[in-house]
Amino acid sequence: ELDVRARGQGLSRWRTAPHLPSFLDTHEEELRLQQGGWWGWLAPPPQAAWRAKFNVLASLVTEEEAVAMKRLLEDAPDDFDEDIDGVDKMITYEFIISSAGAQKAHDPVRSARRAQLRRITEPILRERIQPFVWARYPKAGAVCHSMIRRYLERERRTHDTHWDIPSYVSVVVSLDSSGQDFEGGFFVTTGNGEKSFIPLQRGDTVVHQSDLLHGVHVRHGERWSWAMWFQDSWDCSSRAESWWQQEAEARDPVAQTLRAMRAATQQESYSWLQEAAQAGFPRAQLYFGKALEDGLAHHAPDPPAAAAWFERSRLGGEIDACASAEIVVEAGLEGHVPSVQTIRPQIYRKQVPPTIKEIECSPSRQRSAPALMGRPVVPRMEEATSRTEMPVRRLQLGSAKNGVDVDATWRPTVDETMSVGGLGAFFWDETRRERAHDQGPCELELGAPGTGLRQVIAMVSPGSSESSSMADDQRNRPGRSTMDAFPVRGFGAVGQGVQVHRRPVRSVNFAPDGQRLCTASEDGTAKVFDLSTGKLLKEVDHHNTIWWADFSQDGQMLVTCSDDRSVRVYDCSRWELLEMFGHGLPVKSASFSGERLATASGDGFLRVFDLDSGRELAKHKHESWVISCRFAHDGTFLASGAADKWLRVFDEEGELVFKHCFAGLVTCVDFSKEALLCATTTRQEDGIYVLDVPSGRRVQLIQQKAIALSARFSPDGEQIHCVSRHGVQVYEVSSGQLLENYPHDVHVNYVSMRSDGLLCSCADDGRLRFFGTAAAAPALEPMN
Ligand SMILES: O=C(O)CCC(=O)C(=O)O
Ligand SMILES: [Fe+2]
C-alpha cells in the first residue's frame, strides 16, 4: 500500500469511514479463515491455517458516481440479463458493462447504456482500482468481466456462498448503504458455517482474491453493486493450473478445495475434494457430496454416500449443506439420515442448524466475536423518505386518433415513471426536452389522494411495437383503448388501515366462512383474527419471515410457510401443531385440497403431502424458486408459478398437463371454478393471463402498466383483484375491464376478497386495509 501511495495514485482520498467497524479502519485487514472457525467455537481443532485476505476501501467511489451509475440503469429495468446464475441457479439480474466471454447479440439500446456506464467506470478503474490491485497483486492483469448487479424486492435477494473461481482478483463496489437502503448485503464466511456481513456504505469497495468465500443476502430493502473480475493475464485467458498448487500439496484442505474447483479434469477435481472432505473441511464435504450425488468423473452416482457427506458437512456447521441434505433425504434414503416423513417437531429442531440470524444474535457467540460481529444493527430507514422526487413533467393525454386532448402537469415519483406511456400518452421531459420513448401500456390516476373523488383512466397502446401481439385482444375489449373514467364505489377510499404486525405483512387470507382472517408477516408471526369481535384469536411463531398463511377449505386447519424452511399445519380449535414439513430453502406458498397439502419453495421443489399419514405424495423439480402454488377447487389440478418463468399445471396423478414459459417470473397462480389465472412480470408481457384448463388456451389477458405482484380470483370467479406497485385493481374477467382502482400510498403485498366484496390488503407498513363493495368494514383491534 505504501507503494501505491508513493505513486501518488489518489489514495489520500480514501478516508477512514466512521461507519466502518474499527477493525476495518486501517483499510486493510485480514480475516482469519481457519479451519476451526475464526474464534474457535464451532468446529474441531484447526487442520488448516488458510488466511483469505480482503481489503475494504471506504468511499472508493463517490456518492455522485454511484448514484449516476444506478440512475443510468434504474429507468431501464428490463435491460438486465435474466440468465441463470452458475452459482445458485437463480436469475442473475446483471447488466454486463464489459466481458471477455461470449457477447450477446448486438443490441443498440444496451450498447448505448454500456457506453454511458463506461464513461463513469473507466476513470474509476484507471485511477483508483487498477493501481491498488496491481500494487497489491503483482500478477493481476486485465479486468475481464465488469457488471452491475441488482437485488430488488421480489427479484434476486441472495447470491449463495461461493468462491469467485474464474477470477484472480475480485472487486465489489456497493452502490447502496447497509443499514439505510438495505439490511444484510455482502457477507464473508469461513466455510464452517459462520456468515458475517460487512456493513458497506455506498461507494465502499471490497477487494479480494478467489480464496475468499463470500456471498450476498439482502434481507430487506434494495441493493445494487458493481463487480469486476481481474484475471492473471492480459488477454483474459485463465491459467487454471498454477493457483494454490503448493498449498494443496502441503495438504491444506482449503487450498485443496480451491484446487479442485479449478482442476483440469474431473478425476483431479474428485481426488482433491475427497482429500479435503476427509480432512474435515465442511465446505469440501458439501462439494464432495455433490460430486457423489451427480457422479463425477468415472464414478457412478452414489446418493447414500452423498447423503452421509452432506450430513457431516451440516453437522460441521455448513448451513448450505442443509438444502442438499434435505434433498437427498427426500429422495427416500431412509437409514442414512432421518427421512422427511419422520421429521416431526422434536427432531426438526435438530435437523435445521442455527440460521444466519441466530448466529448473529446468539449472545454466547457474540462474546468472542470480532468487532465486525458486534456492530449494532442500524434500523432500516423508511424507504419512502429516501426516494428523490423527479422534476415536474408535462403529461399529454390523448391523440389525434380519438381527438381527446388533455394537458396536465404531474410530478411523478421514481416508481411511476417506469413504464408510463401508451397510445397518445407520454411524458415530456421538461428538463431534457425530449419525449421518453417508453410506450408500454399505461394506467394512471388523476385527482388528489384521499378526496374520494378519484378517477382512473385506463389506457393501452395497441400501436406499440412491444406489444403488437396484444393488438387483437385490445380490439375485442371496447373501452380499454379509449379513455374511461371510473368513480370509486363501495365505502370509499382506502384509509390508513390498522396496525397488526411490526414488520411487512406478506399475505392475508379470509377463512372460507368469512368470519376469520389470517396474516403472515416478516416479523416471524402469523395471526388469526375474529372479524366479528375484531380480536386476535391466535398468534403462531416461526422466528423468521412467514411468507404465507392460509386456512384449509373447511376452515379447520391453518398452514404457515416460512423462511426457516418449514411448513407447519395447525389445528384451529386447539392450536396443536399437526404437521411440519421441511424444505431445503424458504417456503413461499402452500395450498390445501382435502387431506392434501401442496408446498412451493425456494429450493425449486413443488411438493404434495398427505396430511393423514404425513407422507409425501409427489415432488416436482423446477429450475428456480417456486413462488406460488394452488390446487383447483375440486382438487383435480395443481398449478405452480416459478422464478424460472414457467407456469406448470399437474393432474391428480402428478402428470404434467401443460406448461407455459413467459418472459418474466410467474408470481402468482389461482383457480376459479372455471379457469386458472397466472400473473407474470416483465415490461413486454406484464399481465394477468386467464387460461382454460386443461387445454391451456388463453381466454383473457389483463395488461397493466405496473407489475402484477399478485392476483386472485374473487370467490365467485367473476373478478380478479390484483396488486401492483400502485395499489389494488379489480378487473372483470369476462371483459378484462378495470372495475375499481384502490390506490395505496404504501407498498402492498397481497389482497384477498370475501364473498360479500370486502377486500383486505396487507402492506409493508404492517397494516391491513379494508375496502371494496361490502356494506361495511370490520374493526380490528390494533396491536399494542
Ligand atoms: O453483488 C455483490 O456484492 C457480489 C456479487 C458476487 O459475489 C459475484 O458476482 O461474484
Ligand atoms: Fe463473488
Segment-wise mean pLDDT, segments of 10 residues, the chain, 784 residues: 24 32 29 25 40 76 94 77 61 79 65 89 90 84 90 79 90 93 84 69 88 86 94 75 82 88 88 92 89 82 82 71 57 36 26 26 22 22 26 30 29 27 29 33 30 26 26 30 28 73 94 96 94 94 89 95 87 87 85 95 90 88 89 95 88 88 83 91 69 86 73 94 85 88 85 93 94 86 89
CA of 159 from ligand 1 middle (Å) equals 7
CA distance 304 to 332: 10
Q: Name the closest ligand to CA 187.
A: 1
HEC letters along 380-426: CCCHHHHCCCCCCEEEEECCCCCCCCEEEEECCCCHHHCCCCCCCCE
Nearest CA to ligand 1 atom 2: 225
Residue 225: CB within 6 Å of ligand 1? yes
CA distance 603 to 326: 10
Testing ligand 1's pocket by substitution, the residue of 149, 163, 170, 229 carrying the most ligand atoms inside 8 A of its CB is: 149
Testing ligand 1's pocket by substitution, the residue of 147, 216, 217, 223 carrying the most ligand atoms inside 8 A of its CB is: 216
Residue 227: CB within 6 Å of ligand 1? yes
CA of 424 from ligand 1 middle (Å) equals 42
Nearest CA to ligand 1 atom 9: 227
- Which numbered atom of ligand 1 lies nearest the CA of 215? 7
CA distance 425 to 440: 10
CA of 215 from ligand 2 middle (Å) equals 6
Helical ranges in 223-302 per DSSP H:
245-249, 253-261, 266-278, 282-294
pTM metric for this prediction: 0.48
For residue 376, count other CB atoms closer than 10 A to its CB.
7
Q: So what's the pLDDT on residue 462?
A: 26
Residue 147: CB within 6 Å of ligand 1? no
Q: So what's the pLDDT on residue 448?
A: 28
CA of 94 from ligand 2 middle (Å) equals 13
3 state SS of 286: helix
Nearest CA to ligand 1 atom 1: 225
Give yes or no for a contact between 203 and 62, defined as CB atoms under 8 angstroms apart.
yes
3-state helix vs strand vs coil in the chain, percent to 5: 20, 35, 45
Q: So what's the pLDDT on residue 706?
A: 61
CA distance 456 to 348: 51
| Residue 133 CA: distances (Å) to CA of 168, 231, 316, 761 | 10, 11, 34, 51
Testing ligand 1's pocket by substitution, the residue of 97, 147, 172, 188 carrying the most ligand atoms inside 8 A of its CB is: 172
- Which numbered atom of ligand 1 lies nearest the CA of 164? 10
CA of 55 from ligand 1 middle (Å) equals 15
CA distance 770 to 784: 20
Residue 147 C-alpha cell reads as 457488471
CA of 249 from ligand 1 middle (Å) equals 29
Residue 620: CB within 6 Å of ligand 1? no
CA of 158 from ligand 1 middle (Å) equals 10
Identify the CA nearest to 713 among candidates 674, 764, 657, 769: 674
Angle at 63 between CA 62 and CA 67, to 5 degrees: 120
Identify the CA nearest to 539 among candidates 507, 504, 501: 501
Tell me which DSSP letter residue 300 carries.
P
CA distance 289 to 321: 9
CA of 217 from ligand 1 middle (Å) equals 10
Q: Name the closest ligand to CA 210.
A: 2
Q: So what's the pLDDT on residue 489?
A: 33
Amino acid at position 679, single letter: A
Residue 157: CB within 6 Å of ligand 1? no
Testing ligand 1's pocket by substitution, the residue of 225, 228, 229, 230 carrying the most ligand atoms inside 8 A of its CB is: 225
Residue 727 C-alpha cell reads as 395499489
Residue 186: CB within 6 Å of ligand 1? yes
Q: So what's the pLDDT on residue 600?
A: 95
CB under 8 Å to 625, separation ≥6 — which residues?
A: 90, 585, 588, 601, 602, 604, 642, 643, 644
CA of 32 from ligand 2 middle (Å) equals 19
Nearest CA to ligand 1 atom 6: 215
Q: So what's the pLDDT on residue 273?
A: 95
CA of 129 from ligand 2 middle (Å) equals 17
CA of 145 from ligand 1 middle (Å) equals 12
Domains defined for the chain, CATH in brackets:
2-230 (2.60.120.620), 246-353 (1.25.40), 387-487 (no CATH), 498-772 (2.130.10.10)
Q: Name the closest ligand to CA 148.
A: 1
Nearest CA to ligand 1 atom 10: 164
CA of 451 from ligand 1 middle (Å) equals 46
- Which numbered atom of ligand 1 lies nearest the CA of 147? 9
Residue matched to cell numbers 423439480: 621
Residue 159: CB within 6 Å of ligand 1? yes
Residue 148: CB within 6 Å of ligand 1? no
Residue matched to cell numbers 425449486: 604
Q: So what's the pLDDT on residue 18?
A: 35
Residue 164: CB within 6 Å of ligand 1? yes
Amino acid at position 650, single letter: F
Residue 216: CB within 6 Å of ligand 1? yes
Q: So what's the pLDDT on residue 685?
A: 52
- Which numbered atom of ligand 1 lies nearest the CA of 94? 9
Testing ligand 1's pocket by substitution, the residue of 160, 186, 218 carrying the most ligand atoms inside 8 A of its CB is: 186
Q: Name the closest ligand to CA 186.
A: 1
3 state SS of 120: helix
CA distance 642 to 82: 14
